[in-house]
Amino acid sequence: MFEIHKKIVIDENKVPIAVQVPIKEFERMEEVIENYGLAKLMDDVKTDERLNRLRRL
């Protein structure tokens, strides 16, 4: 994977409320998530019976 340089933001009670990451690392995380979602969608479509019937025609 890749290293994520994160900073945890806490409130006045020292409770974590947010995380900051450099924009380049955030963009890389978005890309990884989008690619995973696309690959999952493609796998789901392979097993869709409606599409399999169309391919046999």
According to the model, what pLDDT value does residue 54 have? Answer: 57
CA atoms of 42 and 48, how far apart (whole Å): 10
What is the pTM (predicted TM-score) of this model? 0.60
According to the model, what pLDDT value does residue 38 have? Answer: 81
Per the structure, the complete domain to which residue 49 belongs is given by 22-57
**8: CB partners within 8 A, 6+ apart:** 16, 18, 19, 20
Percent of the chain residues past pLDDT 70, beyond the cut: 77
Q: Are 23 and 6 in contact (CB under 8 A)?
A: no
Higher pLDDT, 3 or 2: 3
What's the total number of domains in the chain?
1
Q: How confident is the model at residue 48 (pLDDT cuts 50, 70, 90)?
A: low
Query: Does residue 57 surpass a pLDDT of 60?
Result: no
Residue 52: inside a domain: yes
Grouping H, G, I as helix, E, B as strand and the rest as coil, residue 20 is strand
CB atoms within 10 A of CB 29: 13
Which stretch of DSSP H or E encloses residue 19? Answer: strand 16-20
According to the model, what pLDDT value does residue 19 have? Answer: 97
